[in-house]
Structure 1
């Protein structure tokens, strides 16, 4: 089977260089606010779906929870596994085919780690998989960018220099997706990657949740858990329960 863009890009060391400005303080701020809102019991089982290098999972474990992180990127999981200990584990896994049934109290999908697949069926299958992994009274949290604001403020061309690499970024909307082309040179070799994320709105999520047996119990528009505003919010944070 042909590898998809996310299997190449997220497994590349350059992905982590380009997004190295994502700081732990921001991740911890969101986790603190979600913990205060959801009030998980001590030792709650939490699944971090598309955990990357594990920054959310490691912090959740420090707060006393039993945390499992999964990601499709072998390189990210290899990095995260250095932090493993009792009640903190990381596995290479496809979010569409989770092997857990009625196991987790909370499943988290953070920092727009969704919307990568080509078809709605694939996204619904992923959501069904998330649902299946949750206990009957479990909670799913999805943190997505606010598509409307992103599209309204899209800068089509941008250059970022990080670690001596000049990343040329070209962003545009096509066929219901927000696409970013990433071009750069490193050690006399030319690289070209892309990101293709579905421009899902709240209405799209509502439709997919209905198909996958989930419903939204709350929405927020920022890591401070401010109310969601389609025009102004930076994020679309969805708190979901089994229907």
Structure 2
């Protein structure tokens, strides 16, 4: 029996297998990034942060532990249901489409860990940046933490197998139609599964064009979670600060 769900993020992010495959993400690195970012932005004490596409809330929970009032939103109902276990008076989670404004004002809106460029309609990329702008207060900052597409394409591993929890995840990576694509196939309890991740290979110049269309201003660009300078050929990340 085969379960084919290549529709992509709406289904893949809502499965337990997504979280199994990426269970080894570096929490220490994520915490260091949040420390560096909030210090750089000099956010006010108990400032309000919106975490767009928050997943199970790992960044939101840590930001809240630093004293910030955090709202995490995601399209995945399962991820939000999980994250809600950690809610308190200054930490809230809600199912929400980041293409649309949240209709509150924040000191910062974070879109982290390449949670952008999934949309089938290219206008939704612009709508997301417009929504971020709408959700910022007068002194607020928007942050998009994206992959450095040039670096990723140059260093793409075409194929590998990752075994976690007794499941062999077969991963194939390639570039097609301006997207970086990963096909993921595996078998669990006699059922074959096929998923696909598709992310638009947007570069800094692509984002600069979107920012101009959205009427926001790019303030700074960093190339890694230590906030070192961005270099097109060697930086792993593309971290953009705007308002």
Give the TM-score normalised by the residue count of structure 2.
0.96
Q: After superposition, what is the alpha-carbon deviation per residue over 1:90-122, rounded to whole angstroms, capped at 9, x for unaligned? A: 000100123314x10100000000000123211
Higher relative contact order (CA 8 A, sep 6+): 2
2:13 is aligned with 1:24: no
1 CA distance for matches of 2:231 and 2:225? 13
In 2, Cα distance between the equivalents of 1:150 and 1:58? 29
Q: Which runs of 5+ in 2 are unaligned?
A: 1-5
Structure 1 segments (4+ residues) deviating >2 Å: none
Residue in 2 that maps onto 1:233: 235
Gaps of 5+ in 1: none
Distance in 2 of aligned mates of 1:36 and 1:99: 25
Map Cα deviations across residues 154-205 of structure 1 (whole Å, 9 max, x no partner): 1111110011000000100000000000000000000000000000000000
1:39 aligned to which of 15, 22, 42: 42
What's 2:13 paired with?
A: 10
Relative to the length of structure 1, the TM-score reads 0.96
What residue number does 1:142 align with? Answer: 144
What is the Cα deviation at residue 4 of structure 1? 4.3
Q: 2:93 aligns with which of 90, 93, 96?
A: 90
| Equivalent residue number for residue 201 of structure 1 | 203
Superposition map of 1:78-117 within 5 A: 78-101=81-104, 103-117=105-119
Rounded Cα–Cα distance in structure 1 between residues aligned with 2:120 and 2:135 = 23
In 2, the alpha carbon distance for the partners of 1:98 and 1:29 equals 28
CA RMSD of aligned residues (A): 1.0
Count of aligned pairs:
238
Indicate the residue corresponding to 2:3 in structure 1. none
User: Which residues of 2 match residues 126-165 of structure 1 at below 5 A?
Assistant: 126-165=128-167
What residue is the counterpart of 1:168 in the other structure?
170
Where 2:217 maps in the other structure, the secondary structure is: strand
